[in-house]
Amino acid sequence: MNWTDERVEKLKKLWSEGLSASQIAAQLGGVSRNAVIGKVHRLNLPGRGKAGGTQAAARPKRPAPATPRPSNFAARPVTTRAVARPAGNTIPKEEIDFETQAEQLPVPANGNNVVVPMSRRLELTQLTERTCKWPIGDPLNDDFHFCGNESPDNSPYCTYHQRLAYQPSAERRRMR
């Protein structure tokens, strides 16, 4: 597809709004994210400094053409060190007042321990073949998003939303 003036304008606009190259490519259509990035560079648009999700600056221009290795020298064993990390926590502030918790979760105690998974809050343009496409929220609202959790094989939904989507007759009868 050609880079018409309109498309270039849209590119500039979306890029300035901070959308990622792949998102822009998805909106423009007919181009890859590489094409978008290439065009951005050719237009001399400001790249993404440290914000959003890119670094890769100050790289050596050359990937080192060919290593002139002395034949009497064996390849040096690269020593990689594993550093112990502080281990980030994912503690969801459990400050629940036990006297106030009249009703915790509406989970039916009929045997299945179904837990509503946390969604990844993906936007439409970020969905891939492996992401759950279960819509959450009002499409007219600006907090509309998709589940985005991993879906098995080629299924459009994750294992949780699969059940909601297809509701096996046997399971449906047991409900409520």
Partner DNA sequence: CCCTGATTCGC
Partner DNA sequence: GCGAATCAGG
Q: Per CB under 7 A, does 128 bind DNA?
A: yes
Closer of 54 and 159 to DNA (Cβ): 54
Angle at 118 between CA 116 and CA 121, to 5 degrees: 130
H-helix or E-strand spanning residue 116: none
- The C-alpha atoms of residue 143 and residue 133 are separated, in whole angstroms, by 15
Q: Which residues on neighbouring strands pair with residue 150, listed in sequence order?
A: 131
Q: Per CB under 7 A, does 144 bind DNA?
A: no
Answer for the pair 31, 25: CB distance below 8 angstroms, yes or no.
yes
Answer for which of 16, 38, 118, 174 binds DNA (CB under 7 A) is 38
Q: Per CB under 7 A, does 152 bind DNA?
A: no
> Least separation, in Å, of the C-beta of 55 and DNA?
4
The site that binds DNA (CB under 7 A) totals a number of residues, namely 35
Answer for which of 10, 12, 48, 120 binds DNA (CB under 7 A) is 48
> Least separation, in Å, of the C-beta of 94 and DNA?
27
Q: How many CA atoms lie within 13 A of 93 on its CB side?
A: 2
Closer of 83 and 170 to DNA (Cβ): 83
Q: DSSP labels for 91-146?
A: -------TTT-S-------SS----PPPP--B-GGG--TTB---EES-TTSTT-EE
Answer for which of 10, 12, 35, 163 binds DNA (CB under 7 A) is 35
Q: Which residues bind DNA (CB under 7 A)?
A: 1-3, 19-23, 31-35, 37-42, 47-48, 52-57, 59-63, 126, 128, 130
